[in-house]
Amino acid sequence: MSELIVRAEKSDAADELAGVRARFVLDDVVYLDGNSLGALPAAVPGRVEDVVRRQWGALRIRSWDESGWWTAPERIGDLIAPLVGAAAGQIVVGDSTSVNVFKALVAAVRMAGPGRDEIVVDATTFPTDGYIAESAARMTGCTLRPVTPAEVPGVLGERTAAVLLNHVDYRTGRLHDLPALTAAVHAAGAVVVWDLCHSAGALPVGLDEHGVDLAVGCTYKYLNGGPGSPAYLYVRSGLQDRFDSPLPGWNSHAEPFGMRPDYEAASGALRGRVGTPDILSMLALEAALEVWDGVSIEAVRAKSLALTDFFLECVAAYLPEGRVESVTPAAHGERGSQVALRCDDAGDVMKRLIERGVVGDFRSPDVLRFGFTPLYVGFGDVERAARVLGEVVA
């Protein structure tokens, strides 16, 4: 037995989060794609059956009140809040990440006020954020300025209205400096919007602590809400009375059942609501979030760093030198919860890995991505993944 296998066994035996794995539906596959779609929490199937058979099937319309359907967007938002460092009453769940980026970015420009006509966007962002930012700029009469996160402080000025940034780069796993960049945006008098899709549920975010204005994120990655599960929108409490949504739906009206022709925004985070909530997906997400009971995000972060450190060590031991190159930063302060390896024949390599029971994903043209979800990934999984990778590329 190799020294790395022995170390993996000892680490798993000492892992304080090891028991959380039993809260998921898993098999013998090494699943390192939770940064794309989280595994199924064991409580979800039964809860969804209850929602369909009893709440919908038996109670029908009564469930909007008796089953708490109407308050689900804020209630579930309050479950997500501790995972991103937010107090209750600032997160509403609903719509997709793309829709929430649009709401947040246009509202940010409106809050910035006259004379500010430039939107700064992360040039390395996930494509949909860039598409939305370009459309929002056209609709608000702003100029779009794409720059890398490192370049942001140098381009901020009196014309800057809003800045849209990703907390973790989806390709490389690079963790950007949320506190410093937020402070720089505020010093310029602008409004910041953070995309937390690749950080929420994987590491501490500290939205309240660092004074973030607006944030969005999906729930189907590290929050394990299921394919297409609703996204969320964070609006800092001090800004809620100024949040002017570009999508003023009936669900965000101060009197949603008044059916008045004129619009009056509700108070608080409810302003982020638009139309009728997707109840089936939303309540599946609520059940999925139960896996976080008794789990601290700090413990998750500590294990995440240990897993990714160990994976990089195993890759160095099992693969020929120079066969792959890590594009994920080695420094803990700059690393999310994934490792991206550049490999000439990455697409074919990932297909062969999946055939052998190691699931990651491929990003064109040459990147192998491996996501580490500490709630259900162990050190034995990490060692096996690196060992199989070594055999595949040999």
Q: Which is catalytic among the residues 116, 369, 384, 387?
A: 369
**Count of CA atoms in the C-beta half-sphere (13 A) of 49:** 5
Q: Determine which one of 195, 213, 278, 361 is catalytic.
A: 195
Q: What's the rounded Cα separation, in Å, for the pair 2 and 185?
A: 50
Indicate if 369 belongs to the active site.
Answer: yes
Active site residue 221: yes
Cα atoms found within 13 Å of the Cα of residue 125, Cβ hemisphere only: 28
Catalytic residue from among 23, 221, 236, 273: 221
Helices 72-80 and 279-288 pack at an angle, to 10 degrees, of 30
In this structure, what token pair is assigned to residue 100?
């929430």
Which token pair is 252? 């965000």
With residue 210 as reference, give the H or E element that holds it: none
Q: What is the strand order of the sheet 160-166 is part of?
A: 91-93, 232-235, 214-217, 191-195, 160-166, 118-122, 143-147
What is the C-alpha R_g of the chain? 22
Residue 299, SS3 per DSSP: helix
Catalytic residue among 126, 170, 318, 372: 126
379 is catalytic: no
Distance CA 83, CA 263 (A): 33
Give me the amino acid identity at 126.
F
Q: Is 363 a catalytic residue?
A: no
Among 220, 222, 311, 372, the one annotated catalytic: 220
The catalytic site residues sit at: 126, 195, 220-221, 369
